[in-house]
Amino acid sequence: MVLALEFPPINEILRWRDLFPTFNKVALIAVAASLISIVIFLLAARKDGLKAPQGVRNLAETIVEFIEEQIIMPTMGRHGMGWTPFLLSLFLFIYLCNLPGIIPILYMPATARIAIPMFLALLVWVIFIGVGFKHQGPAYIKNSLFPPGVPGPLYILVAPIEFISTFLVRPFSLTVRLFANLLAGHILLVTFSLLTEELVQGDSLVLKPVGILPFFMLMFITAFEVLVGFLQAYIFTILAAVYIGGAAHPEH
């Protein structure tokens, strides 16, 4: 009787041998994400922009319009258009780091390790604080910690809460949201892959047909991870836009 399936430690399912010293699979995916983005826009830029966009140019323009219309306009308005290249890079990089989680052979989202989400979150944190000081000067701190319209005595409560939520929790939440979602998805994929394999290849004739159930779950979760990969890239990018836009124009 089968009592349990011991699952490999998380360290192990996320650990890959170095392709060469100081360069592992996560680094490979990050570099590939950057290169793929560059190649897409390089090929798009070489096509005649005056003609109706097709192929890779259409793809690039669709992504640009998505960033401008769905992320920048609702959060920062027209004066946020200058942030399009950064937010475009952020979205593409995160999405292409998420996507290998469902690509056969790779099967590893680079964002399921904490280094890249943490770097991106800290970068956004540095940028929105910098933007806040650039646009508001030292008053940025005062405006952030003491929002107008709050009764004076409540500032005793509000100021620490604002400090924690704005300056401490934001990078942490950005990091954990992306990292944990992708890690959880990766663990689910590994779980159902291993379970399917073990049930189908096992000796028990009774358990072999049961292997179809985790296989269907594997298919479902794979499809779900396509959505999660896109959604997490979108959420990270739109929150970055909200933070930057809020720091530049606190009245919004």
Partner 1 sequence: MLTAVVTRGLAVEVRFVTVEEEGEEHGSEKMSYEESKDFCEFPYETEEEYEAEASAAHPCLEGPSPLAVEVKELAWGAGAFVVLALLMRFWLFPAVKKGMDARYALIRDGHEAADTARGAARAEVAEYESALATVKAEANERVDAARQTLESERAARLAEVNAAIAAKREAAAAEAAASRQAAEADVASAATEVAARTIELATGKAPDAAAVRSAVEASMNAGVSS
Distances (CA, A) of 141 to 132, 151, 160, 248: 8, 18, 12, 12
Select the residue interacting with partner 1 from 3, 105, 156, 206 (CB under 8 A). 3
State which of residues 76, 92, 228, 238 lies at the interface with partner 1 (CB under 8 A): 92
Count of H-run helices and E-run strands, the chain? 11, 0
Instruction: Candidates 136, 202, 235, 250: give the one binding partner 1 (CB under 8 A).
Output: 202
In the complex, what is the shortest distance from the CB of residue 71 to partner 1, in angstroms, rounded to a whole number?
Answer: 14
At residue 22, φ and ψ (nearest 5 deg) are 70, 15
**Residue 8 within binding range of partner 1, rule CB under 8 A:** yes
Q: How many residues bind partner 1 (CB under 8 A)?
A: 69
| d(C-alpha 199, C-alpha 206), whole Å | 9
Q: Does 241 bind partner 1 (CB under 8 A)?
A: no
- Report how far residue 208's alpha carbon sits from residue 158's, in angstroms, rounded to the nearest whole number: 59
Interface with partner 1 (CB under 8 A), residue from 24, 136, 143, 222: 24
* Pair of tokens at residue 244: 């930057």
- The answer to whether residue 188 forms part of the interface with partner 1 (CB under 8 A) is no
Give the three-state DSSP class for 13.
Answer: helix
Cα Rg, the chain, nearest whole Å: 22
Name residues contacting partner 1, limited to 144-173 (CB under 8 A): none
7: DSSP letter: P
Interface with partner 1 (CB under 8 A) = 1-18, 22-24, 26-27, 30-31, 33-35, 37-38, 41-42, 44-45, 47-51, 53, 57, 60-61, 64, 84-86, 88-90, 92-93, 97, 110, 112-116, 118-120, 123, 183, 190, 194, 197-198, 202
